[in-house]
Amino acid sequence: MIREVAARPFGDQRPGTSGLRKKVRVFQQPHYLETFVQAIFNAEPALAGATLVLGGDGRYYNRPAIQTILRLAAANGVARVLLGQGGILSTPAASCLIRKHGAAGGIVLSASHNPGGPQADFGVKYNVANGGPAPESVTEAIFAAACRLDTYRTLDAPDIDLERTGEQRVGEMAVQVVDPVADYAALLEQLFDFDRIGELLRGRFRMRFDAMHAVNGPYAVEILERRLGAPDGTVVRGDSREDFGGAHPDPNLVHARVLVDELAQADGPDFGAATDGDGDRNMSLGRRFFVTPSDSLAVLAANAQRLPGYRDGLAGVARSMPTSAALDRVAEALDLPCYETPTGWKYFGSLLDAGRITLCGEESFGTGSNHVREKDGLWAVLAWLNLLAVTDQSVAELVRAHWARFGRTFYTRHDYEGIDADLAGELFDALRGRLPTLVGHRAGRLEIEQAEEFAYTDPVNGARSERQGIVLRLAGGGRIVYRLSGTGTEGATVRVYVEDHEPDPTRHGADPQTALADLLGLAVALPDLHRHTGRSGPTLVT
């Protein structure tokens, strides 16, 4: 029986650019999850009578949330749900299923790289029919619907068996429980030379993949160890856990420290990689060699035609604004269109759909292509393995050859996490007010040539996005960027990005913090960062 139940007013709890992310305890409030999901159905009437993809990263509250959403979907007339077995679907795999099966959309349960567990984070994100994150027009419609909702529709029905593959029913709605890996792995096999990668992994080459007790454990074991023949144990922390083993599932130099230390050894593996909570972010390492996400994107773009799925060349490339301009130099040399977008994968969607770009990426460890409409951690790892297999070079040799050809862009990001939101807002308001006076500002050898707040007009659909970060461009090509991040659930994160290009990479040492010391000093001093944040330094450096 379908019931109408009083909804929970949403107030000012606006979803962020990556969907709705809150503490588990917030989602466990009576009617909270139901109100938001009903708002999705109200804002997207095309879901009625259509197929919906559903799954998540396996974090705490994933299973009960899925049962709740199935009952709402049935009550709102969804004809069919494709559900990952055990409630599991990585974010790129969800995008793959939406596109392959012609679904009208998908609901992905994840808080990405944020911690999991009863006291930690949960999230709900809606992906549209192209497989990508909902654009701002849709997220605004969902928020508006949540604010004016009086009731939600649900069905009195028992829970389904999340482990049993095949068809089950919730009322009149069919629920197809599917292998979460199969379609996604088949897609990757079309893009990469699995024979060459398999030869590499079965030989003397050694790699380590850290799944961080997150969603990509089953995917990595199936693809790397079973299909490609990597030795058992290549994948570590491969069992998915609701609390990610009590760790922070963010693949960076801090939270993947065990992997980083292993690769730092003289006799360590040849290649290391890690992916995040929902499987869309990645970090790649060589022995004693860290590849920045910006360099990773640039190297993959420069060598894309070595990969079977991209041998015909690239239509164009794109990067988020805070990502270093290393990609731009590849695009210029290869005569490729290059686009600069705001942070958020949804901004790449229209460019991908229009065929204007083939590869894209963000500095926050996200890289992908037109095969899906999400960043894709395992895709990036396999792209690196394919390049290593066909070039017979190490990671360090491949990147240094890239620098020799295109020059090196020294780059770093400093995060100030958990800042009081009002203090963070005051910092940006003060900096925003000073922009006209900063042009011509000098500090030693450094001079600011341009100071602006980044705004973006989508070249395909004309959509406008304002206040996407403050950018200071320096004489000689250096750049400082300040941005407020919306990926956390407590306080605000102030991100500071600093880069400088060196045509001759031999002129500086290997450490970006040393090479960028003057620029970092200026980046802290200009907004009086430590006073505004109440911190003596960043909480995370990458």
Give backbone dihedrals phi and psi of 193, rounded to 5 degrees, phi first.
-85, 90
Give backbone dihedrals phi and psi of 194, rounded to 5 degrees, phi first.
-65, -30
- For the chain, the C-alpha Rg in angstroms (whole number) is 23
Q: Which stretches of 247-392 are assigned E, i.e. beta strand? A: 271-275, 282-286, 289-290, 317-320, 338-341, 359-362, 366-369
- The residue whose two tokens read 């693809």 is 223
- d(CA 128, CA 309) in angstroms, rounded, equals 25
**Tokens at residue 220, please?**
């990595």
- d(CA 129, CA 61) in angstroms, rounded, equals 26
Could you give the C-alpha distances from 62 to 51, 86, 171, 270, in angstroms and in order? Answer: 20, 9, 22, 36
Please answer whether residues 211 and 278 qualify as being in contact, where contact means their C-beta atoms are separated by less than 8 angstroms: no
In this structure, the number of other CB atoms found within 10 A of the CB of residue 490 comes to: 12
- Point out the catalytic residue in the list 90, 110, 112, 240: 112
**Tokens at residue 229, please?**
């023949």
Respond yes or no: is residue 296 known to be catalytic: no
Please answer whether residues 240 and 268 qualify as being in contact, where contact means their C-beta atoms are separated by less than 8 angstroms: no
For residue 126, which of 441, 374, 474 has the smallest C-alpha distance? Answer: 374
Provide CB contacts within 8 A for 347, sequence distance 6+.
320, 341, 456, 458, 465
- d(CA 283, CA 326) in angstroms, rounded, equals 17
Cα angle at 442 between 438 and 443, to 5 degrees? 120
Residue type, 57: D
Could you give the C-alpha distances from 175 to 82, 168, 210, 311, in angstroms and in order? Answer: 6, 5, 32, 38
Give one DSSP letter per residue of 49-93, joined into a string.
Answer: TSEEEEEE---TTHHHHHHHHHHHHHHTT--EEEEEEEEE--HHH
Residues facing 273 on adjacent strands? 209, 284
In this structure, the number of other CB atoms found within 10 A of the CB of residue 55 comes to: 32
Please answer whether residues 236 and 209 qualify as being in contact, where contact means their C-beta atoms are separated by less than 8 angstroms: yes
Residues facing 495 on adjacent strands? 415, 483
Say if strands 51-56 and 105-109 run parallel, antiparallel, or are unpaired. Answer: parallel
- d(CA 398, CA 404) in angstroms, rounded, equals 10
- d(CA 342, CA 249) in angstroms, rounded, equals 24
For residue 97, which of 192, 176, 18, 193 has the smallest C-alpha distance? Answer: 176
Which are the catalytic amino acids? 112
